[in-house]
Amino acid sequence: MSDNSLRLVWVYPDLLSTYGDQGNALVVERRARQRGLDVHRVDVRSDQPIPTSGDIYLIGGGEDRPQRLAAERLLRDGGLERAVSNGAIVFSVCAGYQILGKAFVNDVGQRQEGLGLLDVETVRGEGDRCVGDVLADIDPRLGLPQLTGFENHQGITHLGPTARPFARTVMGRGNGTGDGTEGAYNDTVFGTYMHGPVMARNPLIADLLLKLALDVNALPPVDDRWYEALRAERIATATQPA
């Protein structure tokens, strides 16, 4: 972070924004502006280099073929790895999450190398696709209330020893391994299967990223009554008997 300005990078919207994940960029932007930050958002298409001086990077979900192309281009570019070694924060969803891991199985059934920013590896699930509402208790160290989201993925993600589960599912499949974990994170890199888009449903995740970027423990409060009402409605709907 330099002075009062936040550099927000949305990675590859042309390939990885099938599921409304642009909402995450809008929420981070808005919540940063509400705290008086001057936000510079850059949307980086897959034919452009990834800037290495961003503060927060967002990478969304996508279908299998665009996911393969995005992983190839990101690996060739190398900018995201450099940004992380400069201290940047990365938040990724679904296909983006799988790409940040060590490897995933791509649309042509091959094991494809990921960026290795998270100690996870994704295989192709043999069973039904994981689709539906998710309720998950976030890692208590991150200090946020129960999350709500929507998942839609075939991949099953196994966590290695240096990846912490982002959350534990109360409802939904999460990483799909049957151990109740959802997503993964290390110090500054986060991955989740929750769409929604997840920050529109859980804006306190955006605040978590802002606190990390600003290196502060708290942010000035904002009026969250509308979000609280929506959240209560989502939880009530998700837990209603069918």
Token pair 């069973």 is found at 127
Q: Which of 23, 54, 61, 196 binds ligand GLN (CB under 6 A)?
A: 61
**Catalytic-residue membership of 94:** yes
Nearest to 91, CA basis, from 181, 184, 214: 184
Choose between 47 and 128: whose C-beta lies nearer to ligand GLN.
128
**Sole binder of ligand GLN in the list 64, 72, 133, 137 (CB under 6 A):** 64
73 is in an annotated binding site: no
Helix (H) or strand (E) holding 158: strand 155-159
Residue recorded with tokens 């129960």: 146
Select the span of 43-51, 148-156, 183-191, 232-240 touching ligand GLN (CB under 6 A). Answer: 148-156
> Is the separation of the CB atoms in 206 and 222 below 8 Å?
no
Compare residues 134 and 219 and give the one whose CB is closer to ligand GLN: 134
Contact window for ligand GLN (CB under 6 A) among 31-39, 57-65, 113-121, 180-188: 57-65
Residue 62 is a binding residue for ligand GLN (CB under 6 A): yes
User: Where do the DSSP E strands lie in 45-110?
Assistant: 56-59, 89-93, 103-105
Question: Is residue 114 part of the contact set for ligand GLN (CB under 6 A)?
Answer: no
Residue 66 makes contact with ligand GLN by CB under 6 A: no
Binding residue (CB under 6 A) for ligand GLN from 155, 172, 174, 183: 155
Q: List binders of ligand GLN among 194-213 (CB under 6 A).
A: none
Query: Of 94, 130, 153, 158, which one is the catalytic site residue?
Result: 94
> How many residues make up the chain in this entry?
242
Q: Do residues 63 and 18 touch, judged by C-beta distance below 8 A?
A: yes
Phi, psi angles (nearest 5°) of residue 190: -125, 145
Contact indicator for 205, 144 with CB cutoff of 8 Å: yes
Q: Which is nearer to ligand GLN, 54 or 101 (CB)?
A: 101
Site string for ligand GLN, 16-35 (x = CB under 6 A): ---x----------------
Q: Which is nearer to ligand GLN, 37 or 122 (CB)?
A: 122
Q: CA dihedral in degrees (37, 84, 50, 6; nearest 10)?
A: 0
| Enclosing H/E stretch for 203 | helix 203-214
Give yes or no: 130 in active site.
Answer: no
Run of H or E including 132: strand 130-138
217: left (phi over 0), alpha (psi -120 to 50) or beta: alpha
Give the residue numbers of the binding site.
Answer: 129
Which residues are identified as catalytic? 94, 195
Which residues of this chain interact with ligand GLN, rule CB under 6 A? 19, 61-64, 67, 94-95, 152-155
